[in-house]
Amino acid sequence: MTADGPPAAPPSAEDAAARAGLSAVAEPGDPVLGALLRTQPAAQVWAALRAGAPLDAPEGCAAALQGRLERWRARARGTDVDRMLTRAAEYGARLVLPGDPEWPSQLDTLAERRPHALWVRGAHDLRNACLRAVSVVGSRAASAYGLHVTSGLSHTLAERGWCVVSGGAYGIDGAAHRGALAGGTATVAVLACGVDVGYPRGHEQLFAEITGHGVLVSEHPPGTTPTRHAFLVRNRLIAALTPGTVVVEAGQRSGAMNTAAHAQELGRTLMAVPGPVTSALSAGCHRLLRDYQAVCVTSARDVIEQLSPVGTEPPAESGVRVGTELLDDTARRLLDALPERGSAGVAVVAAAGGLSPDAALRHLGLLAAAGHVERTATGWRRRTSDERRS
Amino acid sequence: MTADGPPAAPPSAEDAAARAGLSAVAEPGDPVLGALLRTQPAAQVWAALRAGAPLDAPEGCAAALQGRLERWRARARGTDVDRMLTRAAEYGARLVLPGDPEWPSQLDTLAERRPHALWVRGAHDLRNACLRAVSVVGSRAASAYGLHVTSGLSHTLAERGWCVVSGGAYGIDGAAHRGALAGGTATVAVLACGVDVGYPRGHEQLFAEITGHGVLVSEHPPGTTPTRHAFLVRNRLIAALTPGTVVVEAGQRSGAMNTAAHAQELGRTLMAVPGPVTSALSAGCHRLLRDYQAVCVTSARDVIEQLSPVGTEPPAESGVRVGTELLDDTARRLLDALPERGSAGVAVVAAAGGLSPDAALRHLGLLAAAGHVERTATGWRRRTSDERRS
């Protein structure tokens, strides 16, 4: 799922600014812009749009480009990238682009519908957070049963070190994020609005907590309010960020069914939690089980089993996946910087390892995914070999 | 699933008596007896056992036969076939054997584990009842949810002309039979005891109703009390009698899981009704969905869809499956004997068609399965071509 070989070259500052602008101009994942950006630098596309200059259409895209050009040019003229970046910085939002260390390369399977840019806000590194992640989604109008099952499932997944990815909406999404936060692993909310907008309003406090203990992600620049269409386009990201999507509770026409369809189309593991057949709110889940070959899952254990490669029993979260000898020098230095007993804060570890706090956090995330360290309430600590085996 | 070609020759009276005796001597579906009965007439096997005479062991069965012979001989000596048949007649029970018109030939797929004889009691013809039938099973310890779903499912199946086959036990089985009776189509209870014993006792009234409006079936002679082992052996019959088995509610260790395994082994359609993941009583159903590729069904419509051949939409119950030109002379005569409007009782139809009431009932069952007639509260009536199309 992740790209092989060396990562793409990091984007230049010029290209980054151009992609920031383009995120306000084209639809997320617009395939014509995707094709343009594969054949020419973002800065060049952006400059042409701003200047109203002609653009070389990629093969087969001439007519489609023509149909978009006027709209894109008008929007580009009305976009102040500097102000956009300033606003983002004020809100602690950062731009993450293909080629960046924080770019989740599993999104590359979206091919021509890959995001052109991600706006990210939160204490965690998006790529690291998604190293061991699962999407947990469902209806806004959820039953007490659905909310109960979602909280328990996400809580256990988080306790076992799995990041829960969801859409930040009322109902199942909210329960998924809350359960994950309570379980102590970063959670990722993929929004259909700007990461500073915080829709729905009633989740303001939840988004604040996710900012502190996880990541908010959006393809839309700060300040964007959500549209109905944006939710559907956003759903492909939720499906693409993880190797598997669990639909906990969904009616026949729930947006979660759309996320499920994306997951299946992308070749991800599609899972559904059953419920009473007397509940219309589980009808979508049952349809996924009957007609979409979704796997029936009833617990976090089931979910983890589905996502762990065959032969990795006991489950991956309790075993070392990367031997110490395979760690790079920086990771090993950081591991050595952790105290033998007890835990240490990021700043302390970073200083002892000779890294910036940001870089230290990124490497600690990788070390956690590899089973060497874990985050506790008081900081980071080593896992003993006994713990890794158990 | 049913045997092609002409039916086997009907058993002689001698063979019938011998098989009655053998049903008291060998385990139901004992493969060694099955092999013996394929190579020599039942009367010959029975006579040899009674006389303590040697028996030619079928190929590969010599040791197995030797291990059984003493037990079989002792039991044969203690078996009074005449008394057994008299007792059966007193209770209105009849013996149905391979080759009999009432023999459900789908049991032949059990091969060497096919029943040697069936004891049958009830107003309906077993073979006809099972022409369009589905097995509905589950745990004895059922929840209110399970009972509610089972009743509704069986009621609708019966209303649409599907015969519900189950095991006559407390819990889901009982709800399945009761729903079917209320829906107005014959229901079949496969028992692990004699058809006159009526175990469990609390279902005495239910068994009386099934005798009046359906069929009780057992491989055990009248008077046999059930054993734990007998329930497991019985389960293969429930699975084999129908093209599909639905498990409505079952814990991980429920006997219904055994029936499900038989259904799958026999190549029948295995279906499971999901329930709340918080209910241990649905855990077996969820395991069937996850690990046994059971189809997730939530309604009678789902079940009928699974069991109707592809391309027979609208569902088989509302369309003619057999054109009038394909009916045999007797069936056509009987159809002509039905009044143009309104309905007629079996005796009237039989007289008008020149048949015995039993024979008329058998043919009416076939005509109903073919969509030409239906049973109403006041007797049998023709279905108009509009009804057949709708």
Please judge whether A297 and B290 are an interchain contact, meaning their C-beta atoms are less than 8 angstroms apart. yes
Is the CB of residue A188 less than 8 Å from the CB of residue A180?
A: no
List, as one string, the DSSP characters of B238-289: HHHTSSEEEEEE--TT-HHHHHHHHHHHTTPEEEE----TT-GGGHHHHHHH
Of the candidates B129, B89, B103, the residue with the CA atom closest to the CA atom of residue B222: B89
Contact A286 B298 (CB under 8 A): yes
Contacts of A149 in chain B (CB under 8 A): 277-278
Are A290 and B278 in contact (CB < 8 Å)? Answer: no
Q: Is B277 on the interface with A (CB under 8 A)?
A: yes
B286 touching A (Cβ < 8 Å): yes
Q: How far is A282 from chain B (nearest CA, A)?
A: 10
Give pLDDT tens digits for A145-155. 999 999 999 99
Q: What is the pLDDT of residue A6?
A: 42
Taking contacts as CB-CB distances below 8 angstroms, the residues of chain B near A296 are 274, 286, 289-290, 296
3-state secondary structure of B190: strand
Kindly tell me if the per-residue pLDDT of A314 is higher than 80. Answer: no
- Please compute the mean of the pLDDT values over residues B335-353 and round it to a whole number: 79
Least confident of A260-269, B84-93, B134-143, B286-295: B84-93
Residues 6+ apart with CB under 8 A from B37: B22, B45, B116
Evaluate if residue B330 carries a pLDDT over 70.
yes
Chain A residues touching residue B145 (CB < 8 angstroms): 276, 278
Res A325: pLDDT: 57
B290 interfacial to chain A (CB closer than 8 Å): yes
Q: Strand A214-218 to strand B269-272: parallel, antiparallel, or no bridges (unpaired)?
A: unpaired
CATH number of A324-389: 3.40.50.300, 3.20.20.70, 3.30.70.250, 1.10.10.10? 1.10.10.10
Residue of A nearest to B286 (CA): A296
> Which residues does residue A188 pair with via DSSP β-bridges, in sequence order?
A165, A215
Closest-approach residue (CA) in chain B for A297: B290
Nearest-angstrom CA–CA distance, B60 and A113: 65
Query: Residue B273 in contact with residue B248, Cβ under 8 Å?
Result: yes
Q: Chain A: residue nearest B281 by CA?
A: A276
Asked whether residue B245 carries a pLDDT value surpassing 80, the answer given is yes
3-state helix, strand, coil in chain B (%, to 5): 50, 15, 35
Among candidates B108, B113, B152, which has minimal Cα distance to B130? B108
- C-alpha B103/C-alpha B106 separation (Å) is 9
Nearest to B290 among A149, A275, A302 (CB): A302
Q: In 3D, which of A193, A191, A194, A186 has the Cα closest to residue A158?
A: A186
Smallest CA–CA separation between A206 and chain B, in Å? 27
| pLDDT value at A346 more than 90 | no
Lowest mean pLDDT among A62-71, B91-100, B195-204, B359-368: B359-368
pLDDT at B387: 55
Residue spans of the domains in chain B: they are 13-87, 122-307, 319-389
Q: For residue B149, which residues of chain A lie inside 8 Å, CB to CB? A: 277-278
Residue B387 in tokens: 């009804």
Q: Which of A156, A293, A298 to mutate to test the interface with B (most CBs of B within 10 A)?
A: A298
pLDDT at position B385: 57
- Same CATH fold, A324-389 and A122-307? no
- ipTM of this model? 0.74
At A345 the pLDDT is: 78
| Nearest chain A residue to B294, by CA | A290
- Are A165 and A133 in contact by the 8 Å Cβ rule? The answer is yes
Q: Between chains, do A276 and B277 touch, taking CB under 8 Å as contact?
A: no
In the block, residue with structure tokens 């109905």:
A228
Instruction: List Cβ neighbours of B329 (8 Å cut-off, separation of 6 or more).
Output: none
What pLDDT is recorded for position A130?
96
pLDDT band at A2 (very low <50, low <70, confident <90, very high): very low
CATH number among 3.40.1160.10, 3.30.70.1560, 3.40.50.450, 2.20.25.190, domain A122-307 = 3.40.50.450
- Extended beta strands in chain B, E state: 93-96, 118-121, 133-138, 163-166, 187-191, 214-218, 244-249, 269-272, 295-296, 373-376, 379-382
B256 touches chain A (CB under 8 A): no
**What is the spatial distance between Cα A45 and Cα A65, in angstroms, rounded to a whole number?**
12
* Residues B30 and B68 sit within 8 Å (Cβ to Cβ): yes
For position A312, what pLDDT does the model report?
A: 53
Q: Do A295 and B295 touch (CB under 8 A)?
A: no
Mean pLDDT (whole number) for B74-89: 94
Q: What's the pLDDT score for residue A259?
A: 97
Q: Across all residues in chain A, what is the average pLDDT? A: 89
Q: Does A274 touch chain B (CB under 8 A)?
A: yes
Interface probe, candidates A290, A291, A293, A306, chain B, greatest B C-beta count within 10 A:
A290
Closest CA to B187 of B220, B208, B159, B158: B158
Helix (H, G, I), strand (E, B) or coil at A255: helix
Q: Is some CB atom of chain B closer than 8 A to the CB atom of A277?
A: yes
Q: Number of helices and strands (H, E) in chain B?
A: 17, 11
Query: Average pLDDT of chain B?
Result: 89
Tokens of residue A149, six digits? 């099952």
Distance CA A105, CA A243 (A): 12
- How far apart (Å, rounded) are the C-alpha atoms in residues B255 and B250? 8
**Closest by CA position to B304, among listed B163, B157, B152, B164:** B157
- Say if residue A385's pLDDT is above 80: no
- CB contact at 8 A, A355 and A364: no
Amino acid letter, residue B70: E
Query: Which of A356, A18, A381 is CA-nearest to residue A184?
Result: A381
Interface residue A19 vs chain B (CB under 8 A): no
Contact A299 B286 (CB under 8 A): no
Least confident of A278-292, B23-37, B186-200, B345-359: B345-359
Q: Are B355 and B347 in contact (CB under 8 A)?
A: no
Q: Which residues of B194-230 are buried (b: 16+ CB within 10 A; e: fewer)?
A: bbbbbbbeebeebbeebbebbbbbbbbbbbbebeeeb
Q: What CATH number is given for B319-389 in this structure?
A: 1.10.10.10
The answer to whether B289 contacts A273, with C-beta atoms less than 8 Å apart, is no
Backbone angles phi, psi at B5, to 5 degrees: 75, -175
Using the Cβ of B280 and the Cβ atoms of chain A, whether some distance falls under 8 Å is answered with: no
**Under a CB-based contact definition with an 8 Å cutoff, are residues B254 and B291 in contact?**
no
pLDDT classification of B320: cutoffs 50, 70, 90: very low
Q: How far apart are CA B303 and CA B179, in angstroms?
A: 15
C-alpha to C-alpha distance for A58 and A56, rounded to whole angstroms? 6
End-to-end CA distance of chain B: 28
Has residue B389 got a pLDDT over 60? Answer: no
CB contact under 8 A, A278 and B148: yes
Tell me whether B299 touches chain A (CB under 8 Å).
yes
State the nearest Cα–Cα gap between B25 and chain A, in angstroms.
Answer: 45
Which value, to the nearest 10 degrees, does the dihedral of the CA atoms of residues B90, B93, B95, B99 take?
Answer: 130
Average pLDDT over residues B171-175: 98
**Could A276 and B275 be called an inter-chain contact, meaning their C-beta atoms sit closer than 8 Å?**
yes
Long-range contacts of B154-157, Cβ-Cβ distance < 8 Å, separation of 24 or more: B154/B178, B154/B179, B154/B180, B154/B183, B154/B187, B155/B179, B155/B180, B155/B182, B155/B183, B156/B183, B156/B299, B156/B300, B156/B301, B157/B183, B157/B185, B157/B300, B157/B303, B157/B304
A147 vs A249: CA distance, rounded Å: 8
Chain B residues touching A302 at Cβ < 8 A? 290
For chain B, how big is the Rg over CA atoms in Å?
Answer: 21
What residues of chain A lie within 8 A of the CB of B298, using their CB?
277, 283, 286, 290
A273 vs B contacts (CB less than 8 Å): 277
DSSP string of A320-342, one letter each residue: -SS-GGGS-HHHHHHHHHS-SSS
Handedness of CA A375, A378, A384, A390 (dihedral sign): negative
> Which residue in B126, B125, B129 sits closest to B158, CA to CA?
B129
d(CA B276, CA B69): 51
Q: Write out pLDDT tens, residues A10-32.
A: 789 999 999 999 999 999 999 99
Residues of B with Cβ-Cβ distance to A277 under 8 angstroms: 149, 273-275, 298-299
CA A283 to chain B, closest CA, distance in angstroms equals: 8
Using the beta-carbon criterion (under 8 Å), do B298 and A275 form an inter-chain contact? no
Highest mean pLDDT among A330-339, A357-366, B292-301: B292-301
Query: What average pLDDT does the segment B302-325 reach?
Result: 62
Which helix (DSSP H) or strand (DSSP E) does residue A95 occupy? strand A93-96
What is the band of A317 on the pLDDT scale with cuts at 50, 70, 90? very low
Question: Which residues 124-153 on chain A approach chain B with CB closer than 8 angstroms?
Answer: 145, 148-149
B389 touching chain A per CB within 8 A: no
- Rounded distance between C-alpha atoms, residue B386 and residue B390, angstroms: 6
- CA nearest neighbour of B256 among B312, B264, A290, A380: B264
H or E segment to which residue A215 belongs: strand A214-218
User: Which candidate from A286, A299, A302 shows the least CB-CB separation from B274?
Assistant: A286
Of the partner residues B149, B282, B290, the one whose CB lies closest to the CB of residue A278: B149
B contacts of A275 (beta carbons < 8 Å)? 274-277
- pLDDT on residue A333: 80
Reading phi first (left if > 0) and then psi (alpha if -120 to 50, else beta), residue B329 is in alpha
pLDDT tens per residue across span B96-141? 999 999 999 999 999 989 999 999 999 999 999 999 999 999 999 9
Instruction: Look up tokens 């240490």; give the residue.
Output: A344
Check if B275 contacts A (Cβ < 8 Å).
yes
pLDDT at residue A386 greater than cutoff 60: no
Inspect the interface and report whether the beta carbons of A277 and B286 lie closer than 8 Å.
no
What is the pLDDT, as a whole number, of residue A323? 56
Give the integer Cα–Cα distance in Å for B26 and B61.
15
B248 part of contact set with chain A, CB < 8 Å: no
**Nearest residue in chain B measured CA to CA from A272:** B290
Q: Looking at the predicted structure, is the pLDDT value of residue B312 above 70?
A: no
pLDDT tens digits, B56-75: 999 889 999 999 999 999 99
3-state secondary structure A282-304: HHHHHHHHHHCCCEECCCHHHHH
Q: Do B274 and A296 touch (CB under 8 A)?
A: yes
